[in-house]
Structure 1
Amino acid sequence: MNTRELNFAYKVRHALNESAEKLPQSTAEKLASARKMALSRQKKTSGLRVFVPQRLFAGEAGRFVNAPLAWLGRMGVMVPVVALFALMASIYQVEQRHISDTAEMDVAVLADELPLSAYLDSGFNAFLASRDH
């Protein structure tokens, strides 16, 4: 908070304290009983204490480096990344093979001197369809 905000907060607190003194007695008693009831419902603090050997903050890299099974945490990230890379490489290989086969067929068809009626033949279309699969 900057100085201006603190001054405003002090002024508000002062105004509330002044107006609290002007409240009727019945209202002050109702507020006091409501406060007592709220305090009675407050959770009790436990007497147990826990010893924490070192402070750990979110995002602190030191907790994985010093742990006995630190490699397991790193593998949990690396395995999916390597699997994704292998999948993408295999998809690339399959697509390159398909492109190569299609290009080879196109070259064979274009280099051969077939009459136009051969392209209209249903057997030729069946041949092309079988080469795609």
Structure 2
Amino acid sequence: MKHFDEPLNTTQADQFGRASAALLRQGAQSLSPAIKDRLYAARMKALSLRKPEKVRVQKPVFAGVAGNWTSGSNHVWGTVGWIAPLVVLVFGLIGIAHWQDESRINDIAEVDAALLADDVPPDAYADSGFMAFLKNGPLSDSDSEDSSAQLTPSK
């Protein structure tokens, strides 16, 4: 035995709908013509006062000859919308590569300038911290005198 709060399955809902429709048809046949006319007029008035439904219409989308997806009309902004980030990405990557090349060239130029100026002994190039030394710059004169006095053993 089913309770009233339990949902009906699809078959039971169909049977209930058919039985209800049959009862309504039988009841409508037994109504007088005046009542039928009033019901018809009330239905037409209700339908005329009803707000129109908002219908969502989608444009058809087709694959173009070039293989890209286009809607019914060509929109410049739609094309720019996916090309612009790609162009920015490519130019950004080119800029980063150029900046890295320039940075590497400048580092090599600093090493060459230090070697040619003979500020640094050639043995320093074997040291792994030499690039850090070049980036920090040479020691000031007062610091170099103090450090050279400390590093030079007294005789």
TM-score range with shorter-chain normalisation? 0.3 to 0.5
TM-score, with length taken from structure 1: 0.43
Larger RCO (CA under 8 A, 6+ residues apart): 1
TM-score, with length taken from structure 2: 0.38
Higher helix share: 1
